[in-house]
């Protein structure tokens, strides 16, 4: 019997549901970070005297940037589902394990390929 080369349409739909849920959560968190940042921008303060406020603003900005990047990766995963290349390792060309994709739905590398990268 030959090795499976891609996930079935029903499996892809299962992955799509997981990704859409993660996008919704990430977009909500991103919006909250943006709202908090806007609140920090409207506060009048002396930058030299309030380093804690500056540190909090920097943290929120970093979190917002991370969420934005995560959302982009998830949307790219949706595109791969559309063109039926989702779940195929970009290094080995083999299927990424379903367990890995459920945990990290935007993964483009299998565990083996990821480990090989770390060892280089």
Q: Is the pLDDT of residue 19 over 70?
A: yes
* Tens digits of residue pLDDT in 95-120: 999 999 999 999 999 999 998 888 87
- What is the domain-level CATH number for residue 35? 1.20.120.910
DSSP string for 41-94: HHS---TTT-HHHHHHHHHHHHHHHHHHHHHHHHHHHHHHHHTT-TTB-TTT-S
* Tens digits of residue pLDDT in 55-95: 888 898 999 999 999 999 999 999 999 999 999 999 999 99
Question: In this structure, is residue 104 part of a structural domain?
Answer: no
Number of domains in the chain: 1
Question: In this structure, is residue 102 part of a structural domain?
Answer: no
User: What's the pLDDT score for residue 5?
Assistant: 87
The whole model's pTM is what? 0.83
Q: Is the pLDDT of residue 48 over 80?
A: no
Question: In this structure, is residue 100 part of a structural domain?
Answer: no
């Amino acid at each position: 019997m030959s090795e499976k080369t891609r996930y079935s349409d029903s499996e892809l739909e299962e992955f799509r549901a997981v990704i859409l849920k993660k996008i919704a959560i990430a977009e909500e968190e991103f919006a909250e970070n943006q709202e908090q940042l806007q609140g920090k921008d409207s506060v009048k303060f002396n930058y030299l005297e309030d380093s804690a406020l500056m540190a909090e603003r920097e943290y929120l900005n970093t979190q917002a940037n991370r969420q934005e990047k995560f959302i982009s990766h998830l949307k790219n995963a949706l595109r791969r589902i559309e063109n039926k290349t989702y779940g195929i390792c970009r290094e080995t060309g083999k299927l990424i394990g379903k367990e890995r994709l459920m945990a990290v739905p935007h993964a483009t590398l299998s565990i083996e390929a990821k480990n090989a990268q770390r060892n280089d």
